[in-house]
Amino acid sequence: MKNKHIIIAIDGYSSTGKSTLAKQLAKHLGYIYVDTGAMYRAATLFALKNGFISENHFNVNDFVLELHNIIISFKFNSDLGFAEVYLNGENVEKEIRTMHVSGFVSKIAAVPEVRYRLVKQQQQIGKDKGVVMDGRDIGTVVFPNAELKLFMTASDEVRATRRYEELLAKKDNVTYEEVLHNVRERDYIDTHRENSPLIKATDAIAIDNSNLSLEEQFEKVLQLVTKAI
C-alpha cells in the first residue's frame, strides 16, 4: 500500500531543535521542509535594511505598506539537502541567522498583517501535503488539521547553549548571556503576543528533548509518524 502523504506540524520554543528534526524527517520521508521562522526572519531583514526598525523605533505603519514588496521564496540546495530562503531573489540564508536579526524578529512576527501574508503563503506551500513545517503556530493556525503535531520544549539553558555553539561556529561574536537573554525574550514575546501566540495545540504531542540525543528523538518521532501515516 502506498504511504499516505500527511502534514507534520512542529511548533515550540526558540532553539528546541525543531528545524534539525524537521530536516531529518523531510529527508527520511521525501517530504518538503518549510522553515517558517526563516520567513519571519527574512521579513525582519527587509525591515532592518530599509530602515523601518532599529533599536529605538519601529515604523509599523510604513512597514505594513511595504509588505507587498517583500517576496520570500525557497530554493532547494542539493548540496545542503534542504531549501534555502531567498528575499527578493537574493539568498539570505546566512544573514537571517545572526543575533542582530534574532533581536528584532519577534517584534516583526507580532504584526498581524505580516502573519496574515506569511500564513497564506505557508498554507499554499503545504496544500498538497507531504510537508514538514516548523514554527510557532503551525498546528494551531496554519494547519489546525495537520495529521501529526509535535510541540518541542527543552530547558532555557540547554537551548541557549545549543544556539550559542551554533553562533560561535558561524563566528557571530556573542556571549552566552546574550544568547540566553535573547532566547528568553523571544519566548516571552512569542507566547504573549495577541495574534497567534505560541501555544501547544491541544492535540499536539509534547517532546522535551533536554536529555534526548538526536538519534533517540528521531526514533521516537518516527514511531509517531508511522502511526499517523
Which residues lie near ligand DC (CB under 6 A)?
A: 14, 36-37, 40-41, 105-106, 109, 135-137, 186, 190
Name which of 122 and 217 has its Cβ closer to ligand DC.
Answer: 122
- Looking at the Cβ atoms of 106 and 209, the one nearer to ligand DC is 106
146: its cell numbers: 495537520
- Please, what is the minimum distance in Å from the beta carbon of residue 39 to ligand DC? 7
Minimum distance from CB of 103 to ligand DC (Å)?
10
Classify strands 72-77 and 82-87 as parallel, antiparallel or unpaired: antiparallel
Q: Residue 170 in contact with residue 115, Cβ under 8 Å?
A: no
Least spacing, CB of residue 113 vs ligand DC, in Å: 13
3-state secondary structure of 144: coil
Report which secondary-structure segment, H or E, holds 131: strand 131-135
Nearer to ligand DC, 31 or 143 (CB): 143
Strand order in the sheet with 72-77: 72-77, 82-87, 90-91
Give the shortest CB-3-to-ligand DC separation in angstroms: 26
Q: Measured from the CB atom, is 31 or 35 closer to ligand DC?
A: 35
Neighbouring C-beta atoms of residue 167, cutoff 10 Å: 20
Rounded CA gap, 134 and 17, in Å? 10
Nearer to ligand DC, 80 or 229 (CB): 80
Give least dist CB 156 to ligand DC, A: 14
